[in-house]
């Protein structure tokens, strides 16, 4: 007999069906036991006679039920449930797996459970209806974005995770090479250089739902590894080509998946960086008309960012990244008017969060080299770290640009969650630990020897720094 889901149960009144799932609750009424069986689609009530097998079933055990679907008497119907007008009178109950006593109750609100416990037992936490809905809607969002971009002529391309360490802002995650001891790969902070190389390759319209890695302090809306929708386009006239694409894509996404929500502005505002700072005190302003309305979405773009800024140590750095095109008419301006130069950069903001950033890229090797020099790189450093890109640009590179909306933050905001850990299946803690897998963890000396590296303890590390 083929299994059906609880959601289909109303179509099978009077028929015998097979259901599989978890025991959400069990209520013993003497000779009769009521079980609320839960699968990924919902919950349905199962009625069965008490016996030895039924007695040993604990909450969250996995069972298979074969039984007849019956309509409940009018006075016993549960109008708050989509399956509340029926029940399954069990012919047989097969216990597939007995659950141990739970570390916390699945049906309770998450606020009753410490987050570290939830993350340690994440596979239990994800059984909650709200958490499952978060993941289901995340999948719907990604599917919509893929379908939209494919219809617009974009090609999805996977780029490597094992790449080269280059200074692009955050600290890299390094991966030692076994075959080339003393050499390292880096996990990508973004596929920035690869997607630009794809433009050199003539792909013209690329996208990727990609994992990115940055070894930086985490917070509620940021993780060490995260997912972004990476987009790059060739032969665009200006930044407006990208902004219009993003505006249309997300407007249609809201209309299809979140019709209960409303977008504040029919035409999304374009606000200069200077105006955002002076008027709102932030480069990611919250433009909602009613900030108490969880269904209001105030999308906007912030444009005309400075090209460079100084760090706390006084060092010059790129506001976005060094591949962003500066708004200059002559290359000499890079050295003579550095702090006044604007960038062809734009951010995508929503309800006080930056949810994506992009720019028109520099495709002139001379300007790109000059930007690296302004940032303090020597000619030898530029050749070693970026020579592959500059060489590629010598073989014909189209003008191009792109943007990368952050999937995690967007889903967090659309699901009205307080942080992105609520919309990621297995997130890290604030200090970067995976409590479900107990990672990071030690590795064997044999593994370290194969890689030609050794681990030093905290005291030795402290002494070396001194």
What is the per-residue pLDDT across 237-268, written as a single tens digit (0 to 9) for each? 899 999 999 999 999 999 999 999 999 999 99
Inform me whether the pLDDT recorded for 465 exceeds 60.
no
Residue 302: Cβ-neighbour burial (10 angstroms; 0-12, 13-18, 19+): buried
| 69 is a domain residue | yes
160 and 67 share one domain: no
The pLDDT of residue 316: 86
Residue 5: Cβ-neighbour burial (10 angstroms; 0-12, 13-18, 19+): middle
| Region 46-52 average pLDDT | 87
| 263 is a domain residue | yes
Read off the CATH number of the domain in which 22 is found: 2.40.50.140
Inform me whether the pLDDT recorded for 201 exceeds 60.
yes
| 259 is a domain residue | yes
Range of the domain at 74: 6-97
| 112 is a domain residue | no
The pLDDT of residue 323: 94
361 and 325 share one domain: yes
310 and 416 share one domain: yes
The pLDDT of residue 459: 61
Helix (H) or strand (E) run with residue 124 in it = helix 122-125
Helix (H) or strand (E) run with residue 242 in it = helix 239-257
Inform me whether the pLDDT recorded for 128 exceeds 60.
yes
The pLDDT of residue 270: 97
| 90 is a domain residue | yes
Whole-angstrom Cα distance, residue 229 to residue 246?
Answer: 11
Confidence grade of residue 355 (pLDDT, cut at 50, 70, 90): very high
| C-alpha of 277 from chain center | 28
146 and 69 share one domain: no
The pLDDT of residue 317: 87
What are the φ and ψ backbone dihedral angles of 145, each rounded to 5 degrees? -60, -40
- Per-residue DSSP letter, 393: H
Inform me whether the pLDDT recorded for 466 exceeds 90.
no
59 and 166 share one domain: no
CA distances (Å), origin 320, targets 192, 325, 361, 368: 12, 10, 11, 14
* Strands laid side by side in the 345-350 sheet: 155-156, 205-213, 225-234, 400-405, 353-360, 345-350, 299-303, 270-272
The pLDDT of residue 50: 78
134 and 277 share one domain: yes
The pLDDT of residue 462: 61
444: tokens are: 């064997």
Read off the CATH number of the domain in which 287 is found: 3.30.930.10
Helix (H) or strand (E) run with residue 174 in it = strand 173-176
Inform me whether the pLDDT recorded for 460 exceeds 70.
no
149 and 85 share one domain: no
Inform me whether the pLDDT recorded for 405 exceeds 80.
yes
* Of 61 and 111, more confident: 61
The pLDDT of residue 358: 96
* Of 285 and 110, more confident: 285
pTM for the predicted model, two decimal places: 0.93
| 431 is a domain residue | no
Confidence grade of residue 310 (pLDDT, cut at 50, 70, 90): confident
Confidence grade of residue 463 (pLDDT, cut at 50, 70, 90): low
* Of 210 and 338, more confident: 210
pLDDT in tens, 173-182: 999 999 999 9
What residue has token string 């009530």? 45
| 111 is a domain residue | no
Whole-angstrom Cα distance, residue 26 to residue 82?
Answer: 19
15 and 142 share one domain: no
pLDDT in tens, 141-195: 999 999 999 999 999 999 999 999 987 667 899 999 999 999 999 999 999 999 9
pLDDT in tens, 412-453: 999 999 999 999 999 999 889 999 999 999 999 999 999 999
Distant-in-sequence, close-in-space partners of 307: CB < 8 Å, separation ≥ 6: 318, 319, 324, 326, 327, 338, 341, 342, 343, 345
62 and 184 share one domain: no
The pLDDT of residue 3: 97
251 and 350 share one domain: yes
What are the φ and ψ backbone dihedral angles of 49, each rounded to 5 degrees? -80, 145
Number of domains in the chain: 2
| Region 228-243 average pLDDT | 96
Pairing outcome for strands 270-272 and 299-303: parallel
Distant-in-sequence, close-in-space partners of 449: CB < 8 Å, separation ≥ 6: none
What residue has token string 């209001």? 296
384 and 286 share one domain: yes
What are the φ and ψ backbone dihedral angles of 129, each rounded to 5 degrees? -60, -45
| Region 304-330 average pLDDT | 89
pLDDT in tens, 79-97: 999 999 999 999 999 999 9
Whole-angstrom Cα distance, residue 176 to residue 199?
Answer: 30
The pLDDT of residue 110: 60
245 and 319 share one domain: yes
| 53 is a domain residue | yes
Inform me whether the pLDDT recorded for 129 exceeds 60.
yes
């Amino acid at each position: 007999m083929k299994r059906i889901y609880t959601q289909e149960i109303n179509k099978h009144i009077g028929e015998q069906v097979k259901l599989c799932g978890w025991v959400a609750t069990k209520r013993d009424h003497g000779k009769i036991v009521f079980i609320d069986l839960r699968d990924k689609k919902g919950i349905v009530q199962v009625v069965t006679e008490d016996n030895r097998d039924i007695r040993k079933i604990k909450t969250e055990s996995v069972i298979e039920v074969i039984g007849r679907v019956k309509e409940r008497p009018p006075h016993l119907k549960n109008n708050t449930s989509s399956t509340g007008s029926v029940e399954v009178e069990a012919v047989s109950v097969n216990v597939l797996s007995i659950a141990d006593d739970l570390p916390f109750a699945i049906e309770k609100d998450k606020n009753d459970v410490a987050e570290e416990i939830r993350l340690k037992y994440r596979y239990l936490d994800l059984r909650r209806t709200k958490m499952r809905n978060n993941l289901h809607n995340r999948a719907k969002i990604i599917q919509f974005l893929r379908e939209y971009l494919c219809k617009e002529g974009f090609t999805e391309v996977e780029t490597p995770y094992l790449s080269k360490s280059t200074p692009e802002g955050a600290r890299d995650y390094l991966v030692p090479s076994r075959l080339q001891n003393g050499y390292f790969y880096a996990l990508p902070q973004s596929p920035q250089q690869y997607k630009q190389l794809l433009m050199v390759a003539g792909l013209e319209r690329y996208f990727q739902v990609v994992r990115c890695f940055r070894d930086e302090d985490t917070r509620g809306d940021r993780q060490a590894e995260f997912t972004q929708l990476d987009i790059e386009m060739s032969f665009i006239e200006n930044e407006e080509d990208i902004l219009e694409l993003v505006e249309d894509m997300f407007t249609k996404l809201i209309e299809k998946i979140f019709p209960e929500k409303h977008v504040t502005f029919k035409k999304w505002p374009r606000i200069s960086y200077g105006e955002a700072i002076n008027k709102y005190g932030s480069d990611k302003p919250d433009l909602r008309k009613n900030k108490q309305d969880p269904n209001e979405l105030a999308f906007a773009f912030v444009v005309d960012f400075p090209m460079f800024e100084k760090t706390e140590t006084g060092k010059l750095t790129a506001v976005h990244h060094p591949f962003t095109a500066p708004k200059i008419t002559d290359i000499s301006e890079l050295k003579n008017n550095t702090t006044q130069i604007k960038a062809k950069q734009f951010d995508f903001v929503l309800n006080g969060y930056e949810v994506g950033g992009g720019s028109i890229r520099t495709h002139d090797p001379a300007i790109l080299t000059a930007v690296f020099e302004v940032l303090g790189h020597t000619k030898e450093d530029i050749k070693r770290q970026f020579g592959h890109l500059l060489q590629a640009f010598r073989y014909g590179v189209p003008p191009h640009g792109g943007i990368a909306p952050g999937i995690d933050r967007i889903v967090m905001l659309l699901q009205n969650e307080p942080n992105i850990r609520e919309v990621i299946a297995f997130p890290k803690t604030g200090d970067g630990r995976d409590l479900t897998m107990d990672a990071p963890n030690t590795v064997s000396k044999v593994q370290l020897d194969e890689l030609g590296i050794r681990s030093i303890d905290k005291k030795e590390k402290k002494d070396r720094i001194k």
